[in-house]
Amino acid sequence: MRRVRALVAVVLALCACQVFAQQTAQEQAVWKMEHKYWADVKAADLVSYRALWHPNFLGWPRSSATPARKAHITDWITNNAAKGIHLSGYTLKPAASQATGNLVVTDYWVTMDWVDKNGTRKLERDRITHTWMRVGNRWEIISGMSCPVSAAGK
């Protein structure tokens, strides 16, 4: 059984390598921005994090009961910080991406390792979609949505 699992893991890794080998330069650039996004969250660097968002952003983050605009994009980070919670680590698992003109859409899972002021850890897993738009030589998030991964979605 262990060998079967190892073989499946190798096959999945090779498939993932093949998918990413076929990415456009635009998609590769945007995946780097997705990693920057999470590095900014982990560092609680709100200035750098806000700079990733287009002024006309409209999306529906997990943390909001209604769609949000750029003015509220850091609310979830500051709310967690006020409770003494910070992001200790994260892993991204890309699902898909697609470039169309000056837009790139990314879909992925993120596993977040949150730690509170007492050192208690909590893992959360979300599905995320971001639409990035090229503005000059920069990429900015123009829209997106996130939600927790449900038991049915695992």
pLDDT at 9: 47
Q: For residue 1, is pLDDT > 60?
A: no
Total length of the chain: 154
Domain positions in the chain are 24-153
pLDDT at 21: 56
Q: For residue 16, is pLDDT > 50?
A: no
* pTM for this predicted structure: 0.83
Average pLDDT, the chain: 89
Q: For residue 153, is pLDDT > 60?
A: no
> What is the percent of the chain with per-residue pLDDT over 90, rounded to a whole number?
82
Q: For residue 2, is pLDDT > 60?
A: no
pLDDT at 71: 96
Identify the CATH class of 24-153: alpha beta
pLDDT at 51: 98
